[in-house]
Amino acid sequence: MKAYTLDKLLILDRLGGDEEIFTMMIDMYLQDVDNNCTSLASALAAGNAPTLQREVHTVKGLLATFADEPGTELAFTLEQQIKLNGINGVDAQIADLQARLIEVAEVLKAELAGQV
């Protein structure tokens, strides 16, 4: 999958140019990323397909918010797979999605550090 690069101009355009909301959204993402990763792992470990599908859907929205098309596509495909076929065989894709969440978080942390 292509590495995540922040398209700040696109995101700001979607936010009406509001830098304060942009920074607030990054803060919220960074505060929740570990919980998102844990929720994915917990739902998978519990074998709970509906919960896992919901968690993947949430992650899809988060990645879309930050204009991560490859990450959003991964989450969408995974969400559909779980909906149609359950959770068997999705371990690797969940791990990929968790890695993507962390990758995006690292880029967002760097963006915040650059704003200081």
Enumerate residue ranges in the chain where pLDDT < 70. 115-116
Cα(12)–Cα(21) distance, rounded to whole angstroms? 9
Contact 55, 40 (CB under 8 A): yes
How far apart, in whole angstroms, are the C-alpha atoms of residue 28 and residue 36? Answer: 12
pLDDT in the model for residue 8? 95
Per-residue pLDDT of 77-109, as tens digits, reads 999 999 999 999 999 999 999 999 999 999 999
Quick one: DSSP state of residue 7? -
pLDDT of residue 69: 96
* Domains of the chain, first to last: 8-115 (1.20.120.160)
Question: What's the pTM?
Answer: 0.94
Instruction: Give the model's pLDDT for residue 86.
Output: 94
Position 1 scores a pLDDT of 87
Under DSSP, the state recorded for 44 is H
